Amino acid sequence: MPQIDAASRHRSVLLEESLGFFDFATAEIIVDATLGMGGHSEAMLERSEKVRVIGLDQDAAALDLARQRLSRFGDRFTAIHTNFADIRSALSDLGIGSVNGILADLGISSFQIDSPERGFSFRFDAPLDMRMDPDSGDATAAEFLEELSEEEIANLIYGFGEERASRRIARRIVKRREEGRPVRTTTELAELVASVLGRKHGERIHPATRTFQALRIAVNRETEILAGFIDNTADLLKPGGVVAIITFHSLEDRIVKNEFRRLSGKCSCPPRLPVCQCGAVKKLEILTKKPIEPKPDESDANPRARSAKLRAARKLPLIEAG
């Protein structure tokens, strides 16, 4: 059973930079869409005596820890057990139509990485699960690898992991399956990928990193969920309200960048289309031309921060002049 002091071991990444986008002098309600251990929520509640923070998390165990950690703030803090994709209904259930700020930190929470039985990491031997919400009834990573075709597995590893050896890895996975010993644990998958790729001298990341990332994204439908979430935030913010999103790999950052562009009215349709079909609408103003990255001292202190990127956008007034 994880203890509460686990929370203090993990520092929130880009904390100051992300909170800097919110106006705590006037903010009434801010949503922490990925509550995790509650680090961002705690900092927000400390920064203003008036602000109310609604924290969302799909992980019941993390939610309990955050509730304990933030109990001293009384009814200024509300924790809801839900995926951030369901932010709209979560707020409407509370009778809230719009908010002043929305923060999402898409880093897989350290809590999950440190719970070996969840099967997220090749550092621990565990069943290959990877579901953020183990109670969801969705397919596990092992089930993906048992049920998808070789080509589907290859496309998944290439598309979500940017792994160039995707076809060779998929072939090996399917070969094992045909031999009646499907890949069922983190160690089996990590060793399989390592045997396909070899390990280059001096390489800092494990060769299976990209394959594990790809599976985690696919299992949790993260790309679809993220695009839908950003679309929702544009509607849920009050004019002048800000959405800030911290990502931890390039695919996620690209989705945030593209969705922000679309919601700032930039059409990405091919030039010859008679009418816009990409859904470009002018709802947001982008506040970060380039993503904000952690300062070197933060990256040194916390290896997890190295790939972090922060982007933010502000809700425009509903009626545009001109």
Q: Give residues in contact with Zn ion (CB under 5 A).
A: 267, 269, 276, 278, 280
User: Closer to Zn ion at the Cβ: 50 or 254?
Assistant: 254
Q: Is the CB of 194 or the CB of 278 nearer to Zn ion?
A: 278
Q: Which is nearer to Zn ion, 6 or 278 (CB)?
A: 278
CB-nearer residue toward Zn ion: 276 or 301: 276
Which residue lies nearer to Zn ion by CB, 96 or 267? Answer: 267
The answer to whether 245 and 322 have CB atoms below 8 angstroms apart is no
Those residues whose C-beta lies under 8 Å from the C-beta of residue 306, and which sit 6 or more positions away, are 294, 299
Element (H, E) at 163: none
Distance from the Cα of residue 57 to its chain's centroid: 11
Say which amino acid occupies 308. A
Q: Say if residue 9 is exposed, middle or buried (CB neighbours under 10 Å; 0-12, 13-18, 19+).
A: exposed
Report, in Å, the least distance between residue 257 CB and Zn ion: 16
Shortest distance in whole angstroms from residue 282 CB to Zn ion: 12
Min CB(269)–Zn ion separation in Å: 3
| Pairwise CA distance, residues 284 & 240, whole Å | 9
Smallest separation (angstroms) from Zn ion to the CB of 239: 24
First to last CA, the chain: 59
Rounded Cα–Cα distance for residues 173 and 178 (Å): 9
Q: Report the residue number, 198 or 279, with the smaller CB distance to Zn ion.
A: 279
Least distance (Å) between residue 270 CB and Zn ion: 9
Least Å distance between CB 254 and Zn ion? 18
Rounded to whole angstroms, the Cα distance separating 198 from 170 reads 16
Least spacing, CB of residue 273 vs Zn ion, in Å: 7
- Burial classification of residue 93, based on how many CB atoms lie within 10 Å of its CB (0-12 exposed, 13-18 middle, 19 or more buried): exposed
**Which among 155, 130, 115, 148 has a CA at the least distance from the CA of 217?**
130
Closer CB to Zn ion, 61 or 280, in the complex: 280
C-alpha span between 64 and 7 (Å, rounded): 11
Dihedral sign of CA atoms 301, 44, 21, 29 in order: positive
Three-state secondary structure call for residue 130: coil
